[in-house]
Amino acid sequence: MIAFFIRRIGQAMIVMFVISLIAFSIQDNLGDPLRELVGQSVSEAERQVLRDEMGLNDPFLVQYWRFLKRAVKGDLGNSYFFKRPALEVILEKLPATVELVMGATLIILLFSIPIGVYCAINPRSWLTKLMMGTSIIGISIPVFLTAILLIYLFSIELGWFPSFGRGETTVLFGGWHTGLLTRDGLMHLILPSIALSSIMLPLFIRLIRSEMMEVLEQEYIRFAWAKGLTRKRIWFLHALKNTLLPVITVGGVQIGTMIAYTILTETVFQWPGMGFLFLEAVNRVDTPLIIAYLIVVGLIFVITNTLVDLIYGLVNPTVKLTGGAA
């Protein structure tokens, strides 16, 4: 167990190192920070002095080292636009994004398993064919288009759900603004969550279906039938447990990927989360904010992957958390 964590932390550090390197190179290449700080009236000579003072003329490695030292302490610089620490600005928006991803994940979990299993058990039924057809469509429509369609249908035409924002939020301990505790907040969450899950859900349905169909062909399933077990037990214990193992691994990575899709979803729904903020930051060339975003997202990625590994190790008896697969 301890070895597992050491290994995982080692991996996490490598990932974070790479991200920091990328983030830092962006800082170096994205526009001129001075232009954002000082006006047009400052002369070129004065600018050079300022550059020297800020260390912008130092060699790359020196600058990177300085950046790293501060980053470790949580200091990623001030946002040019908000004039506040970039990390603080990002973290304020974290709850909105996390709750959106949670909503989408919940939808995926709730629907992909029953639908995937149904399609695997009844490969010839018309409902399966319908599901498979629909899932292809779901995968191929871009998220922003799905989002716009959802808004058009359910907000504008039917008026069931609000079309933008988070609605009413309440503050939990630790300053976490949550929309999960009010009816208004939940109503606001529904459409963005559906939009965000619109690619992953069909993907998961297809993944679970194909995994399960493969499992159902295995000899141990035939043996389970030979033992006279009930269909329920064979499908939902013997087969499903084997099906979900690979799905957990793939799924964990996909949920990380979903964070990338939040940028589109949040933008269309004006969802005040990190993705929305990130797009604004890119427009304003607010480099510290961009970097802070990349690093926070990288961290989330590393954490979800570790959690997924942990769960996988707990469910799969052939994997010992101390080492690799047995």
DSSP 35-55: HHHS-TTS-HHHHHHHHHHHT
Q: Helices 274-283 and 287-315 sit at what angle, rounded to 10 degrees?
A: 150
**Out of 48, 49, 315, 322, the residue judged to bind other proteins by CB under 8 A:** 315
Closer residue to other proteins, CB minimum distance, 83 or 124: 124
Is the Cβ–Cβ distance between 219 and 227 less than 8 Å? no
- List the structure tokens of 127: 């409902």
- Which span sits near other proteins by CB under 8 A: 22-30, 139-147, 157-165, 312-320? 312-320
**Out of 145, 187, 245, 248, the residue judged to bind other proteins by CB under 8 A:** 245
Q: φ, ψ for residue 178 (rounded to 5)?
A: -115, 145
Closer residue to other proteins, CB minimum distance, 99 or 211: 211
**Minimum CB separation from other proteins for residue 315, in Å?**
7
The whole-angstrom separation of Cα 326 and Cα 109 is 28
How many residues of this chain interact with other proteins, rule: CB under 8 A? 23
Binding characters for other proteins, 208-237, by CB under 8 A (x = yes): ----------xxx-xxxxxxxxx--x---x
Q: Helices 2-29 and 60-72 sit at what angle, rounded to 10 degrees?
A: 130
Residue 318 binds to other proteins (criterion: CB under 8 A): yes
Binding characters for other proteins, 108-147, by CB under 8 A (x = yes): ----------------------------------------
Burial status of residue 227 (CB atoms within 10 A of its CB: 0-12, 13-18, 19 or more): exposed
What count of other Cβ atoms lies within 10 Å of the Cβ of residue 74? 12
- Which span sits near other proteins by CB under 8 A: 5-13, 74-82, 164-172, 241-249? 241-249
Closer residue to other proteins, CB minimum distance, 216 or 295: 216
The residue ranges that bind other proteins (CB under 8 A) are 218-220, 222-230, 233, 237-238, 241-242, 245, 315-318, 326
